[in-house]
């Protein structure tokens, strides 16, 4: 009796050869999961096969894909061992549940000079600390979209913690993205560098700057949000796959619909609001003080704390 063929790639599906598989990939159907949820007539049209063959391919793809089920207890056990990066401020750590969490996206938004980049620099240093000191003993992928990465500031923060300044800088891989294409491509290709460099933190400073400048007007809003949606979900996928933390900064606008209270609103719309695991609003206070408000978190109550941006870094 002939041994049943194992389905692992598109080419393994019945009726789908190498040429047909390339047609599907070119159309964006590049995984068994995507074939499994396709409509027969849609798959038939894209692949150039008849509807019956398409149904057979879809059924085979459904049988080859698996769904992993977990209990709430198993998820709790996994969450108990998640890594957390200290921010340098005990009050801020407490506000967000112990530090910036791995397997999650932490978004910080605020006006210019509110300290968003400074917190990103501090995390880039702190992630390199030993685990018993609030680090993850890992490196950083820093995607700079605004040209604000300052190695001398990183060195200043590292020196304040008696760390080797040059080694700290060597452990930060910086990509200067000047277009949304380069920003997106950097994240898409990150799989090739994360295991090699032991990346434990991805910083995107800022996430929306290039999207905001390239997609102008309501006519371009739909395309912008679609690209942003794919981009932010890829960041989350990397966080889950490699148990790393993602820190993104975001720009703001004044919402004209808010007549009373603070009109400051983060850009990116609902897509970004839903994608960020933890959302913080940072605003300037007197002198070197900054007020941090926890706007959204799945596990911590809303609250505020005060931090200081000092020459040595982020402090209470």
Residues 92-147: tens digit of each pLDDT: 999 999 999 999 999 999 999 899 999 999 999 999 999 999 999 999 999 999 99
Over the stretch 173-185, which tens digit does the pLDDT of each residue have? 999 999 999 999 9
Neighbours of 18 (CB within 10 A): 9
2 confidence band (pLDDT: 50, 70, 90): very low
Q: Where are the alpha helices (DSSP H) in 127-191?
A: 151-160, 165-170, 180-188
Q: d(Cα 261, Cα 270) in Å, to the nearest integer?
A: 21
- Give the position of tokens 């950097």: 186
> Residue 87 in contact with residue 122, Cβ under 8 Å?
yes
77 confidence band (pLDDT: 50, 70, 90): confident
Q: What is the pLDDT of residue 40?
A: 92
Please give the sequence-ordered ranges of beta strands (E in DSSP) within 110-195, or none if there are none.
Answer: 139-144, 172-176
Instruction: Note the CATH number of domain 12-64.
Output: 1.10.150.20
Q: d(Cα 208, Cα 215) in Å, to the nearest integer?
A: 10
Instruction: Note the CATH number of domain 75-315.
Output: 3.40.50.300
Q: What is the pLDDT of residue 138?
A: 97
Q: d(Cα 204, Cα 227) in Å, to the nearest integer?
A: 16
Over the stretch 255-290, which tens digit does the pLDDT of each residue have? 877 777 788 889 998 999 999 999 999 999 999 999
Q: What is the pLDDT of residue 135?
A: 97
Q: Is 313 helix (H, G, I), strand (E, B) or coil?
A: strand
Q: What is the pLDDT of residue 1?
A: 42
Q: What is the pLDDT of residue 293?
A: 97
Domains of the chain, residue spans:
12-64, 75-315
Q: What is the pLDDT of residue 217?
A: 87
> Residue 279 in contact with residue 107, Cβ under 8 Å?
yes
57 vs 2, which has greater pLDDT? 57
Structure tokens at 111: 């006006």
Over the stretch 182-219, which tens digit does the pLDDT of each residue have? 999 999 999 999 999 999 999 999 999 999 999 988 89
Q: Is 249 helix (H, G, I), strand (E, B) or coil?
A: strand
79 confidence band (pLDDT: 50, 70, 90): confident
Over the stretch 238-258, which tens digit does the pLDDT of each residue have? 999 999 999 999 999 888 777
Mean confidence (pLDDT) of the chain:
93
């Amino acid at each position: 009796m002939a041994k049943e063929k194992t389905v692992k790639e598109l080419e393994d599906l019945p009726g789908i050869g190498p040429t047909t598989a390339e047609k599907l990939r070119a159309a964006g159907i590049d995984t068994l999961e995507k074939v499994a949820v396709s409509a027969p007539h849609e798959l038939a049209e894209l692949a150039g096969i008849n509807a019956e063959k398409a149904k057979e391919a879809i059924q085979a793809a459904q049988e080859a894909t698996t769904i992993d089920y977990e209990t709430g207890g198993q998820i709790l056990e996994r969450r108990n061992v998640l890594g957390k990066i200290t921010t340098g401020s005990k009050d801020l750590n407490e506000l967000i549940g112990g530090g910036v969490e791995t397997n999650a996206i932490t978004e910080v938004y605020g006006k210019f000079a509110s300290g968003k980049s400074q917190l990103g620099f501090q995390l880039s240093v702190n992630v390199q600390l030993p685990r018993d000191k609030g680090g993850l003993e890992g490196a950083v992928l820093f995607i700079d979209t605004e040209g604000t990465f300052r190695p001398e500031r990183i060195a200043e923060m590292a020196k304040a913690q008696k760390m080797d300044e040059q080694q700290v800088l060597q452990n930060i891989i910086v990509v200067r993205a000047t277009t949304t294409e380069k920003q997106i491509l950097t994240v898409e290709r990150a799989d090739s560098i994360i295991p090699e460099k032991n990346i434990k933190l991805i910083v995107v400073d800022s996430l929306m700057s290039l999207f905001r400048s390239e997609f102008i007007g309501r006519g371009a809003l739909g395309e912008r949000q679609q690209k942003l949606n794919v981009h932010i979900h890829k960041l989350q996928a990397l966080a889950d796959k490699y148990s790393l933390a993602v820190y993104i900064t975001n720009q703001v606008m004044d919402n004209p619909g808010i007549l009373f209270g603070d009109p400051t609103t983060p850009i990116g719309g609902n897509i970004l609001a839903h994608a960020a695991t933890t959302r913080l609003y940072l605003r300037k206070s007197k002198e070197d003080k900054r007020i941090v408000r926890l706007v959204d978190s799945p596990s911590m109550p809303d609250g505020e704390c005060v931090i200081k941006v000092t020459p040595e870094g982020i402090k209470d």
